[in-house]
Every structure is written in C-alpha cells, then in structure tokens.
Amino acid sequence: MTMPTALEIARQATLKPIAEIAEDIGIPPWLIEQHGEHVAKIDLKAIEELKDQPKAKYVVVTAITPTPLGEGKTTTTIGLGQAFSHIGRRATIAIRQASMGPTFGIKGGAAGGGYSQAVPFELLNLHLTGDMHAVTAAHNQISAMVDNSLYLGNEFGLDLNQITWKRVLDVNDRALRNIVIGLGAAGDGVPRQAGFDITAASEVMAVLALSKDLKDLRARLGRIVVGYTKQGEPVTAEQLKAAGAAAVIMREALKPNLLQTLENTPVFVHAGPFGNIAHGNSSVVADLIGIHTGEFLVTEAGFGADMGAERFFNIKCRVSGLKPDAAVVVATVRALKSHSGKYKVVAGRPLPEDMLKENPDDVALGAENLRKQLENIRAHGVEPVVAINGMPSDFASERRVIHELAASMGIKSAVGTHFTDGGRGATEIAEAVAEVASKPNNFHFLYPSEATLRQKIEAIASKVYGADGVDYAPLAAKQLDGYEKNGFGNLPVCIAKTQYSLSHDANLKGAPTGFRLPIREARASVGAGFVYLICGDMRTMPGLASKPAAISIDLDDDGNIVGLY
C-alpha cells in the first residue's frame, strides 16, 4: 500500500483545540493568544508563572553527519516526543520554524514527516503567525536606516566597503545575492554594492532565538554591528537609532508559538536561525517555558552533532542556563553507507542502485562517523542514545553493525519506525532516553568565555572536527584581531562550514583526519552574541533548483493547497 503524503496524513488528524493543549501542560488561559483554533502564541509571563513547576528532563536530538536527503532528525524529534505518552510519560517538543524559501525550493517543509509531524501542516510550513515576516521587516528597517544615514551625510563615518548589513527576504532567489542599490536620481540614495540573504540567515533571527525577554531582545538589537569605519570602529544599530523600531516590529514575534503533533503532543515552533552561519536551534524562550510543562522537553539541533549540537551546548545553553540531561544521535543505514565513501547521494535523484543492496561492511566503514559524533556529545559531559531511523530498505545485518558499535562504546541504541507508526514506533528510543536522562551527568562547555577567539576556534576544530590545526587567511586574522580589540573576544564562536562532512570539505566522508581547518573570513554577530567563522563558500541566499517544489504547489478548485510536502 502506498504511503499517504505528509499533507494527506496531516489532514486526517484529529486535532484538539489549542487552548486544551495549553491547559494540559499547565499554561493558564490568560497567557494564551490564539491564532485560530489550533495555533497560539504564549505570553512571556509564562516563564515567571511556571518557574515553580517541576523541571523536565532536557533532551537534545542531533544526528550523524547527514546526506543531502536528511536523516529524519525532525521526524525523530517529534516521534520521540509522541512516544513518551506510549510509555506513560509526558513530553513537550520544541523545534525551529520552517523557512518558506526551502519549502518552495527543494527541501520541502520542516514539520517532521509521515506519522510523526507537527500540525497544522499548511500553517506551520507557510506564514504561521508571521514571525518570519517580522524578522524580515525588522532587518530591512535597520537596512533602510543604514542607507538613510549615508544619504544624510554619513554621520558615523561608515566605510562603504565595510558595510556588513545586507537585506533579507524569505525566498530562494540567487539573483539577489549581489546587487547595486541607490541608482537613479540624486534623491534615490547613495549608490553602492549590496545584497540579500535569506531571512533565516538574518542576525535578527538569531537574536530572536537567543533573547530571554523583551529587554534582552532590545539590547541585542542595539548591539548589532552594521558596518565599520575606515579606522575599524564598529557602527551599531543603536547609534543609528534603528534598534527601537526593530524591537517594536519584533515584540509579538518573541512570544513562542504553540502547536501540537498528530498525536496531540504539545510542540513549540519558534525561530529558525540558519544552521550554517548561526546556531541552528529553536528559541530560548520556548525552552524556558517548555522546561516546566512535562517530564521531558525534547528539542532539536540543526545538522550533525558537530554543528547544531555543539552550538546548542556552547551557545544556546550558555545563554539559557539550562543543562541537557541526554542527547539522541539519529543515524540511518543509508547515511552510514554514504560515509563509506563509495557512493554519491544527490538530492532529487534516486539512491545509487548498489547502495540499496545488503552490505554491512559498507555500514561498518561509514560507522566511524557515528563513533566520532557520539564522542562529540560525550566531550560535553552528556550521554547519548543512538536512534536508528528505520527505513524499508534497511537489512537486519546492517542495523546490527550500528547496535554493535554503540554497545562497544557502552551506549544504548534502538530502532525507530516512527515515520510509519507514529509514537508507538519510537517507544524503545523513549525508554532508552528516559533511562539515560535519569542519571546525573557532567555537562560542561567545550571552552570558557574568557578564552581568546582563536583558542575557541581551535578547541572546536581539534576536539569536535578532528582537525590537526587551523589556518587563518590574512583577512580572517585581521578581522579576529579587530574583534578582540573592539571587545568581542568574550563571545562564543560558530564555525560556518559544510554540513556534509565533519571537516570543511564536503567530499571528506566518515571521520576524516590529517586535515587543517581553513578560516577564510570572520564576521561578528554581536547582537546575537557570537562570532562566526567562514570556511569555504557559504551561500546565505539559496537558489531554486531546475524543478523547485514551487512548480507543484497550487490551489485546487475548492481553494485547498496541493503539492506542499
């Protein structure tokens, strides 16, 4: 029998009124702002009102290094959250909000999949409550005030060649990556080179995800650096008097969104910072509320454990003050086969035919990637559980390789069939997570705040990626020196690299060694509160594929959405 599409499954779900979902997790009616029957924003006063409730076990879901097809991390996050109710426990879930660019591009939606997804499907993958549009508007309001300042005489001495603040749009549009603005008559602005990023890559999005309250949001927006003078002095949104307007635009967006899963498990869907140049995690405020709403709070970190989980530990937890009790590392047979180095997986194309044949030896070769990602979790004092996201093409002998590797490290592992079976398909994973989370751990950051930026970079490169060292391009070295001089040296770091390898090179599979990490450029997201380092060519404005998802998305004669997946 053919599996229904995610949209078809979502439309068959029996949803509870969102007020009932909120009541089930102890959020009173006066803290709920409904957006229709099945979506609500939660007032930030809930952080204070719920603080005396028992604290949940905090579980982060991450993964091995993924293939371009993804390994079902969001699906596993939601399946695990649903599974707890099947073993008599209560869980709340927190995930990022989908970006519409990839939804209409090649990636599709970000609500999970199969019978483990958050709903309402259409709202979640499109406008939801408008947070993405608020980020776009707030970011571009700052952009407009940058160019207005230039037009009115450039009071702060911004160097036109060192303006770092672009514009953003929540659309995949490669033609906007590099543009020239201010053309036309003299009253049309100062001509200069500029560009667009996708909204998820905006520093305002990272600020939204890391702010703890409105006061914190306002302060972070004020600290945003929009560019530098010829003397290397930073110019901020506060100096431009742009931060106040941006904060007003973002006021409602800071309230987290409450939805539910197909099985009526509560799920916060809030913020969607880029997984490459930012920390790739959902919001701090959602977690500060969710941590007091059940026995477990299950959240997801973007990409593999070397990226999203590392930043979850060293950036997000540093801000929130929350300490994880367990981690889940999602693995698939197909991804580990890919890490053998024998196969090339391309999004939008069928898997290589030989990859679908039974071959536990290929899984064993690629399993070194799993081993290293498990070590990366333990490097932070947290105990992992391996969740094998089961697929029909798997063979028992291939899954056995994964179980044996985990067992050799003293780590629990379990197979999940949550895509096809919903929460009941992930009960073994839930039981393993509950057992691990019940034990004390030694969670710690990988580096102290007082370490230099270079020391922080080198700690991640050597301890997490397995690099022999770090090479800094002259520009990057100069920028790092400038950031230290300007007082940004106490910030954590975020390394922007490919998600398809533990290294900077997407072609290096498994657990590569003997390489050095090249840092091409450094940028300071001072408002968000981190410095990010660029390895290679990072695209912050995606383009559309030859056959984007958008060509199949439409309305039928009754006004229903079709083609969304």
* Residue range 184-242, pLDDT digits in tens: 999 999 999 999 999 999 999 999 999 999 999 999 999 999 999 999 999 999 999 99
Query: Rounded to an integer, what distance in angstroms lies between the CA atom of residue 93 and that of residue 81?
Result: 6
Contacts 24+ apart (CB under 8 A), 519-523: 519/457, 519/470, 519/471, 519/472, 519/473, 519/476, 520/473, 520/475, 520/476, 521/473, 521/475, 521/476, 521/479, 522/453, 522/476, 522/479, 522/480, 522/483, 523/164, 523/277, 523/479
Share of the chain above pLDDT 90, in %: 85
Please answer whether residues 497 and 536 qualify as being in contact, where contact means their C-beta atoms are separated by less than 8 angstroms: yes
The CA distance from 214 to 205, in Å, is 14
Residue 315 is predicted with a pLDDT of: 97
Confidence check: pLDDT of 89 > 80: yes
Written as six digits, the tokens of 171 are 């659309």
pLDDT at position 346 is: 82
- Helices 214-223 and 243-250, axial angle in degrees (round to 10): 140
Neighbours of 438 (CB within 10 A): 10
DSSP percent split of the chain into helix, strand, coil, nearest 5: 40, 20, 40
| Residue-wise pLDDT tens digits, 472-500 | 999 999 999 999 999 999 999 999 999 99
Q: Is the pLDDT of residue 252 over 80?
A: yes
**CA–CA dist 554, 245 (Å, integer):** 36
Between strands 112-113 and 116-119, the pairing is antiparallel
- Distinct helix (H) and strand (E) counts, the chain: 20, 26
Cα separation, 370 vs 363, whole angstroms: 10
Using the predicted structure, report yes or no on whether residue 352 has a pLDDT greater than 70.
yes
Relative to beta strand 326-331, strand 384-389 is parallel
Give me the mean pLDDT over the 341-368 stretch. Answer: 88
pLDDT digits (tens, 9 = 90+) for 29-77: 999 999 999 999 999 999 999 999 999 999 999 999 998 888 899 999 9
Residue type, 201: A
Q: Cα(422)–Cα(298) distance, rounded to whole angstroms?
A: 16
- Distance (Å, whole) CA 434 – CA 86: 13
CA distances from 549 to 100, 199, 345, 420, 459 (A): 11, 19, 19, 23, 40
Q: What per-residue confidence (pLDDT) applies to 313?
A: 98
Specify the range with the lowest mean pLDDT, choosing from 153-162, 413-422, 533-542, 551-560: 533-542
- The residue count of the chain comes to 565
The pLDDT value recorded for residue 193 is 97
- Could you tell me the two tokens for 90? 């209560």
Over residues 447-466, mean pLDDT: 98
Give the three-class secondary structure for 557: coil
Which residues neighbour 162 within 8 Å (Cβ) at sequence distance 6 or greater?
Answer: 227, 228, 229, 230
